[in-house]
Chains A and B, each alone.
Chain A
Amino acid sequence: MRDVAIIGVGQTRIDEHWDLDLRHLALEAVQGAMKDADVEQIDALYVGNMIGGQVTDQEHLGALIVDFAGLRGVEAFKVEAACGSGGAAMRVGYTAVAGGLADLAVVVGVEKMTDKRGGGATAALAMAADAAYEAAQGLSFVAINALLMKRYMHEYGYDHADFAPFAVNAHRNGVNNPNAMFQFPISAEKFDSAPMICEPIGLLDSSPICDGAAAVVLAPVDIAQALGVDPLVQVTGSAVATDTLAVHDRRDPTVLDAGIESTRKAYRQAAIGPRDVDFFELHDAFTIMAALSLEAAGFAEKGQGVRLAQEGAIALEGAIPVTTMGGLKARGHPVGATGVYQIVDAVQQLRGTAGENQLTDARIGMAQNIGGSGATVVTHILERVEA
């Protein structure tokens, strides 16, 4: 196994990009990352994407994107794990470079969600759940998360308003991210009075439907050093774990077993524990998922993730800052691209290029991408290595 570094990052602004289709979004991110890495040729490209077929009638994205980016002939294919597709593609890129099968690999996450009117994106997102036993009963993806949130509130005595810090913090951080979809703050009052989508999930508990693409270039650390990359960001943990697809089959629906397992594996690889993590790019598709992620990753006891947020620990100046560039809630959640955006956000923090949101002395960052409501959890740990 070779040590792997991230030597380039690129991203589009997340938005409703009526003037750009999937291939143009991917191109912008790939070109941005390759320019940042100062490389012109690559060995492989892996695409994280979930609903391209459903919403844009386009699959076969690997060949599409390398051809469009002027990289014809290069190994390329799509990796799918619902909303965890971007993280899963990152994992594939990591294994290719770590295993010595590719020296330069690009991982691009791309999603075009706004091309179908009405409930097109919503219907496509429901495919993250069990089609025969969840979606067939009339549950949208939001409804499934609402069942989790309702039970969590019941068990631990929380009100809807208690979840406000997750959304308020994400929006506060989105203000200073020029690539965020929502660059404005929200108040706790506005959060609690937002219209309900699926009780107890309101509009401001939820990440938006949007378009975007993000990309990274991976290389072995020795090649990165030879290229003079400084500061160098190394991938020191990379792990995937799975759980039952359907929420009703879980050991305990309010515990992310796959989150526990994938962070445990990643911590062990990086030889660190939760206390060593300087910031956590978690998967706040809904506020409840942020709480469950904090608990699964060992930052809070079961049922205490909300309490941790209320105490201010998740702010930029807190003990464990989360969603430092706006997270899924404010930066945006173009589903299959999200896992790569999280990596890009983390690299910016570790390089010291996060602008107004720059953390002081960020050395170790963790990014966690979740597919479905916890069936696939991908965790990456990144560390800044001084040249």
Chain B
Amino acid sequence: MSVPENWRLRAQRYRLVGEVCDKCGAKIFPPRDVCPECEVTAKTPFTFSGRGEVYSYSTVYHAPEGYEEFAPYTVALIKLDEGPMVTAQLTDVDKEDVSVGMAVEMVTRKIHGGGTEDPITYGYKFRPSAKEAAEKSRSRG
């Protein structure tokens, strides 16, 4: 992962900044500058809440180069509360405890361990929603 690429993507990687369409109000992530709903130019920044739910998930055992330190890790499609879907790793959760529909929230973590030429990369991952976890523990207690 190159230094300039990571610099260009810093707003979306660190803060989940996407876009909102001024015409139809669609929230867009990852940013794509053209609204996928009404196909007009959409460049107004929009910061997502980071809340969403698991749409699908899988566990990676044989990690690609640079991701070995995280293996095995769970990856997921996250349906964000504002509408779009995002691909990311789950963290702070055992794979046995993941389910479709589970509420999650964004956190910033190391996403790539770096290499001889590349620096360590940070970005979004998702963990079980703290609010949901608190409610669960209350209902148990």
Which residues of A are at the interface with B, using a C-beta cutoff of 8 A? 119, 122-123, 126, 130, 132-140, 143-144, 146-148, 150-151, 154, 196-201, 244, 246-249, 253
C-alpha gap A7/B41 in the complex (Å): 48
Q: Would you list 30 pairs from A and B whose C-beta atoms are within 8 A, ordered by A residue?
A: A119-B64, A119-B65, A122-B62, A132-B5, A133-B87, A135-B64, A136-B121, A137-B75, A138-B63, A138-B64, A138-B70, A138-B73, A138-B75, A138-B111, A138-B112, A140-B60, A143-B58, A143-B60, A147-B56, A147-B57, A147-B76, A147-B77, A147-B87, A151-B55, A151-B100, A197-B62, A246-B87, A249-B36, A253-B56, A253-B85
Q: Is B59 an interface residue (CB 8 A)?
A: yes
Kindly list 19 other residue pairs between chains A and B, CB separation below 8 angstroms, not including A122-B64, A132-B5: A122-B62, A123-B64, A126-B64, A133-B30, A133-B87, A136-B111, A136-B112, A137-B88, A139-B75, A140-B63, A147-B56, A151-B56, A198-B58, A198-B59, A247-B77, A248-B84, A248-B86, A248-B87, A253-B55
The 6 closest A-B CB pairs, nearest first, are A146-B58, A151-B56, A248-B85, A138-B67, A147-B56, A150-B56
Q: Are A150 and B58 in contact (CB under 8 A)?
A: yes
Query: A248–B77 contact, CB under 8 A?
Result: yes
B75 pairs with A197, CB closer than 8 A: no
Identify the B interface with A (CB < 8 A). 1, 5, 9, 30, 36, 55-65, 67, 70, 73, 75-77, 84-89, 100, 111-112, 121, 123
- B contact residues around A196 at 8 Å (CB): 61
Q: Across the interface, do A137 and B111 meet the contact criterion of CB distance under 8 Å?
A: yes
* Nearest CB in chain B: distance from A256 CB, A: 16
Query: Measured between alpha carbons, how far is A253 from B89 in the docked complex, in Å?
Result: 18
CB distance from B128 to the nearest CB of A (A): 18
B residues near A198, Cβ cutoff 8 Å: 58-61
A133 to B89, CA, bound (A): 11
B contact face: mostly helix, strand, loop, or mixed: strand
Q: How far is the CA of A227 from the CA of B88 in the complex (A)?
A: 57
The CB with the most chain A CB atoms within 10 A, among B1, B77, B112, B123, is that of: B77
Give every chain A residue within 8 A of B59 (Cβ-Cβ). 198-199
| Chain B residues whose C-beta falls within 8 Å of the C-beta of A119 in the assembled complex | 62, 64-65
Are B87 and A139 closer than 8 Å at their CB atoms? yes
A138 touches B56 (CB 8 A): no
**Least Cβ–Cβ distance between A169 and chain B, in angstroms:** 25
Contacts of A201 in B (CB 8 A): 58
B1 touches A154 (CB 8 A): no
- Expressed in whole angstroms, the Cα–Cα distance for A132 and B56 within the complex equals 20
Contacts of B123 in A (CB 8 A): 136-137
Nearest opposing residue in chain B for A248, CB measure: B85
A147 CA to B111 CA, complexed, in Å: 19
State A196–B55 Cα separation when bound (angstroms).
21
CB distance A253 to B77 under 8 Å?
A: yes
